[in-house]
Amino acid sequence: MAEYMTETDERSPAVPHSGTAGEPRETTGTATGPLDGQEALAQLERTRTLVYPELRAAVESLPGAMRRIGLYHFGWQHADGTPASGNPGKAIRPALVLAAAAALGGPAARAAAVRAAAAVELVHNFTLLHDDVMDRDTTRRHRPTAWTVFGDTDAILAGDALQALALRLLAEDPHPASVPAAARLAACVVELCEGQHADTDLEQRAPDAVTLDEVLAMAEAKTGALLGCACALGALYAGAGAEEVAALDGFGRQAGLAFQLIDDVIGIWGDPRHTGKPVGADLAARKKSLPVVAALTSGTPGASELAALYGKPYLAEEAEAGEIARTALAVERAGGRDWAQAEAADRMARAMQELARAVPDPEAAGGLLALAEFVTRRSS
Amino acid sequence: MAEYMTETDERSPAVPHSGTAGEPRETTGTATGPLDGQEALAQLERTRTLVYPELRAAVESLPGAMRRIGLYHFGWQHADGTPASGNPGKAIRPALVLAAAAALGGPAARAAAVRAAAAVELVHNFTLLHDDVMDRDTTRRHRPTAWTVFGDTDAILAGDALQALALRLLAEDPHPASVPAAARLAACVVELCEGQHADTDLEQRAPDAVTLDEVLAMAEAKTGALLGCACALGALYAGAGAEEVAALDGFGRQAGLAFQLIDDVIGIWGDPRHTGKPVGADLAARKKSLPVVAALTSGTPGASELAALYGKPYLAEEAEAGEIARTALAVERAGGRDWAQAEAADRMARAMQELARAVPDPEAAGGLLALAEFVTRRSS
C-alpha cells in the first residue's frame, strides 16, 4: 500500500519535471518566492504553532482509552502513557486551510480558520488509524502504528472517535462558515472511504484488469479529495463564494494528484537528486501505481513484458534486486515514467489555473503556491 | 458479546419486575395507555414510514461500494446488488427522536425532526457495522453481517461513511437545532466508542478484576448514551431549553440501562413467559454481564462458587447444559438475579422521574413512556 501523502514519508527533494506550459515556476516571480521551500517550511511551522494547541486540546478532551490512543498516535505520549516529544506530522492539510483562508480573507480569516484546520487534521488522522489497520502497516512517523500497540479494535475505535471529534469541533465553532464546512468535510470523508475501498480493490485485481482511469480516480479520491477539501474550507472561512470555493477545491485536488504521480515515480526509481538508486518496494509488492498501470495499458512491447513480470508472485526485495531493476526498466520502456512525469506537470498546470481563478493576485496566492510546490517536492 | 439493544434481538415479552416505587404502571393512567405495547408498535411503524425514505435516500447518495454495502446492511439489497425486501430494524432510536420532539413541540416539531431521526439511525448502524467486525459476529437481523460478505476493510469503511453521512445530514439541515444536535451526536459517538472499548476490555479481564461500577458505566456508554442522545435531539428540535434536553437525555440513558439489565437477565434465565428455560449462551461464553458481575462481587458463598466456575474455559453450550444450569444457579444464589431486577426497576423509576421533569403533562409524555416500556419488554 502506498503512503499517499502521509507524514511517514521521508523521501526528500524534487524530481525533475518536464516543464510544460503553466508550470509553476513561471506563474510566480517574487524575489523571495516560494521556490526555495523556505516559505513553505515557515508556513508549516506557523501552522503547527497555531493549530496544534487546538488539536491537542481536542484529543485531550477524549475519555479514557480514546484519549490514550489518540495521544499516542499523535506522538504526544508513549504507549505507557508517559509524555513524548510529539510528532503529529508536517501539518500540510491544516496549512492549506490557513493559507486558503489568508489568500482570500487575509490574517483575520486565517485566525478564524484555526479550528477548521484542526478538524481537517483530525479527519486525516482518523483515516491513517483505519488505513494502517486495513493495510497492516506497522510503522507510522517512525513509531509502531496504533493497532500494533493497542490492537485492531481500539485502533478502529480511536479512528471513529477522531472523526466524531472533527465534526464536533466544527459544530461547536460559532463561525458562520462552520456549518457548510462540516457538510463539506463529511462529504469528503465519504469520498476518502470510497478511495480507500478502490485502492484495496485494485490491489486485489489481476494486473490486466485495471484501467488507468480507475487508478487516477482512486488517487483523486484517496489523496486529492482531502487536500481539495482543506483549501475549500479555508475559502469558506474567508467568506468566499461558491465559485472560488470550487476553484480552490480543484487546486488542492490537482496538486494532490501531481503529488501522487511524483511519489509513485520516486517509489520506483528513487529520488535521483537524493539516493540515485531505485527504491523498488512498490514493484516488489506488485503495487499498481500510476506509472505501472500507465505502462501496463500502453499497448507497447514493454507492456507485455511488464505484465509477465507482474504475473509472478510477490518478491522479497533484497533477494531479487535484479528482477526489480528489470521490472523498473520495463515500466520505463513502456512509457510509464515519461507519462507520469508529463501527467504530474499537467496536473500542476491545472492546479495553477484553478488557483489563478480563485486568487488572481499572485502575491495573495503565494502561500498556497509554496505549499503546492512543497508537497510535489519541486522544492525541498 | 451481548447484543445491546440491537435489532437482531428476537427475545420477546416482558420479564417480571419488582414493582418499586416510581414504577411506570403507576405514572400513567390513560385508558388506551401504552402498556399493551400497541401504541409503541404504532409509533415504530409511523417512524419507519416517516424516516426510512430519508434514511434510504441518504444511503443511496453514497458512491459505489459504500452505497452497495450500506444498502446490503440495511436489508434493501442482497449481496449481489439485487433488490431485497428490507429489514433495517425496529427504528427504536428514530422513534425516540420523534416522540421527544412531539412531546415537547407537538406535530410540527416531530415533522421537523425527521432528518435528525435518520442521522441517529445512521450513527447506530455505523456502530453495528464496526462492532460486528470487532466481535466477529456473523449474523445481524437474520442475515450474514457485512464483514462476512464484503470483508473487514469494506465493512469498516462503510461504517466510517455512515458516520460521516449522519453528520452531513445534520450539517445540511437548515433547522436551527441542527448545529447543537450535530455537536451532541458527535459527542455521543465518542462515548459509544469508549463504551465499546470498555466492553471488549472487560471481557478480556479475569472475572475477579471487574467491578460492578465498571460494568454499569460500560452499559451506560454503550447502550444508554445513544438512547439518551436520541431523546435529547428530539428535545432540541422542539426548541427545548438546556434543562429539558438534559432531563430527556437522562430519561433515555436510564431506560437504556433498564433495558440492558433485563436483557442480561433474559440472557441467563430466558424469558419465563416465553421459553421457560435457561438460554445459557452468555454463561457459556463467560460473559461478564451485569447479573454475573453483581453475583461475583456480592461477597456471598455463591460468589466463590461462581468465580470457580467462571475460571474454567469457555464451554460448548450443548455439551455442558448441566454445568450451565449450575452456573445460573450460582448467579442466582449469589443474588445476581434479584439485584438485576431491582436495579432495572430502579433505573426505570429514575427514567420516569427524568421524563416527568422534562414533560410534566402525562398525556404528552405518553409516547416516550410507551417506547421505554417497549424496549424494557414490560409490554410486548
- HSE-CB at A239 with a 13 A cutoff on CA atoms is 6
Question: Look-up: residue for cell 501522487?
Answer: A260
Judge: A153–B197 Cβ closer than 8 Å, yes or no.
yes
Q: Phi-psi category of B175—alpha, beta or left, where left has phi over 0 and alpha has psi -120 to 50? A: beta
- B309 and B323 Cβ atoms separated by less than 8 Å: yes
Taking an 8 Å cut-off on Cβ atoms, the answer to whether A180 and B171 are in contact is: yes
CA distance A70 to chain B (A): 12
Q: Residues of A with CB below 8 A from B156's CB? A: 130, 133-134, 156
Question: Is residue B291 a contact partner of residue B331, using CB atoms and an 8 Å limit?
Answer: yes
Determine the Cα angle at A195 with ends A290 and A188, to 5°: 130
Which chain B residue's Cα is nearest to A161? B190
For chain A, what is the radius of gyration of the CA atoms? 20
Tell me, what's the pLDDT at A8?
Answer: 38
| Contacting residues of A for B154, CB less than 8 Å apart | 197, 200
The answer to whether the CB atoms of A186 and B197 lie below 8 A apart is no
**Three-class SS state of A140:** strand
Residue B187 in contact with partner chain A when CB distance is under 8 A: yes
Whether A137 contacts chain B with CB within 8 A:
no
Chain A hits for B170, CB-CB cut-off 8 Å, are 171
Q: Which of B152, B153, B185 to mutate to test the interface with A (most CBs of A within 10 A)?
A: B153
A193 close contact with B: CB closer than 8 A:
yes
Beta strands, E only, A94-176: 139-140, 143-144
| pLDDT for position B21 | 32
pLDDT (tens digit per residue) in A119-150: 999 999 999 999 999 999 999 999 999 999 99
- List of chain B residues with pLDDT < 50: 1-34, 276-277, 380
Residues 6+ apart with CB under 8 A from A166: A118, A119, A120, A122, A123, A126, A185
Cβ-defined contact of A65 to B171 (cutoff 8 Å): no
Q: Do B197 and A160 touch (CB under 8 A)?
A: no
Task: Out of B126, B157, B171, name the one closest to residue A186 (CB).
Answer: B171
How far is residue B365 CA from its own chain's centroid?
Answer: 20
Mean pLDDT, chain A, whole residue set: 88
Chain B nearest C-alpha distance from A334 (Å): 31
The stretches of chain A forming alpha helices (DSSP H) are 38-60, 64-73, 92-112, 114-135, 146-150, 152-171, 178-204, 212-219, 225-237, 242-269, 281-284, 290-296, 301-311, 321-333, 336-358, 362-375
* B47, amino acid identity: T
CA distance to partner chain B, nearest, from residue A25 (Å): 37
Question: Residue B44's pLDDT is what?
Answer: 96
Distance from CA of A170 to the nearest CA of B (A): 8
A155: which 3 cell numbers? 485502533
The neighbour count for residue A151, using CB atoms within 10 Å, is 18
pLDDT digits 0-9 by tens, B211-244: 999 999 999 999 999 999 999 999 999 999 999 9
CB of A162 less than 8 A from some CB of B: no
As a whole number of angstroms, the distance between CA A53 and CA B179 comes to: 24
ipTM, two decimals, is 0.90
**pLDDT value for A276:** 47
Q: What is the mean pLDDT of each run of 10 residues along chain A (380 residues)?
A: 41 35 33 66 96 97 98 96 88 97 98 98 98 95 96 98 98 98 98 98 92 97 98 98 98 97 90 60 88 96 90 65 87 96 97 98 96 79
Contacts with B194 from chain A: Cβ below 8 Å? 62-66, 157, 161
Which DSSP symbol is given to A289?
A: -
- pTM of whole model > 0.95? no
pLDDT, tens digit (0-9, with 9 covering 90-100), for B26-40: 333 344 444 568 999
Q: Is the alpha carbon torsion for A236, A91, A197, A373 positive or negative?
A: positive
